[in-house]
């Protein structure tokens, strides 16, 4: 069941882990890059909701992408800290969207926060610190 909203396109970032964890989709809003995903059968746990790691990975992907795309040339980043607050569960076939913001950025560090929604329901809030790996 793909059924991806028309305003999203398949994300161009890829790695063996992200290809397995996704697929991910992106949309450029005025103030952030929104990362979306459809919860599929391989992401459901024994209590019939998305495994916490699925949302945790989405949080890390969305937050790091926001920093990565903040400048040209694109910034290589590494997660230093990721904090998540699980508020509600995602169910099979739910469409979830991650919204993020860069709260503060220096030459070497970025502080970000955001939330993951399913419709109007907040599933997660999150914050992260990233090392910016400038040459």
52 pLDDT more than 90: yes
Per-residue pLDDT reduced to its tens digit, 63-79: 999 999 999 999 999 99
Instruction: Please answer whether residues 114 and 99 qualify as being in contact, where contact means their C-beta atoms are separated by less than 8 angstroms.
Output: yes
Rounded to two decimals, the pTM is 0.95
Q: Under the phi-then-psi rule, with left for phi > 0, alpha for psi from -120 to 50, and beta for the rest, what region is 22?
A: beta
Identify the structural domains of the chain with CATH numbers, from first to last: 9-132 (3.10.129.10)
With vertex at residue 38, the alpha carbon angle to CA 36 and CA 43, rounded to the nearest 5 degrees, is: 120
């Amino acid at each position: 069941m793909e059924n991806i909203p028309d305003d999203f396109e398949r994300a161009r970032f890829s790695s063996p882990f992200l290809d397995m964890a996704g697929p991910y989709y992106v949309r450029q809003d005025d103030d952030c890059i929104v990362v979306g995903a459809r919860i599929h059968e391989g992401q459901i746990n024994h209590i019939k909701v998305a495994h916490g790691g699925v949302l945790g990975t989405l949080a890390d992907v969305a937050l790091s992408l926001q920093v990565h795309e903040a400048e040209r040339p694109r910034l290589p980043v590494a997660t230093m800290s990721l904090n998540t607050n699980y508020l509600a569960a995602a169910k099979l076939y739910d469409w979830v969207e991650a919204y993020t913001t860069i709260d503060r950025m220096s030459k070497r560090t970025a502080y970000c926060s955001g939330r993951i929604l399913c419709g109007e329901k907040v599933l997660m809030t999150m914050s992260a610190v990233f090392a910016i790996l400038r040459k």
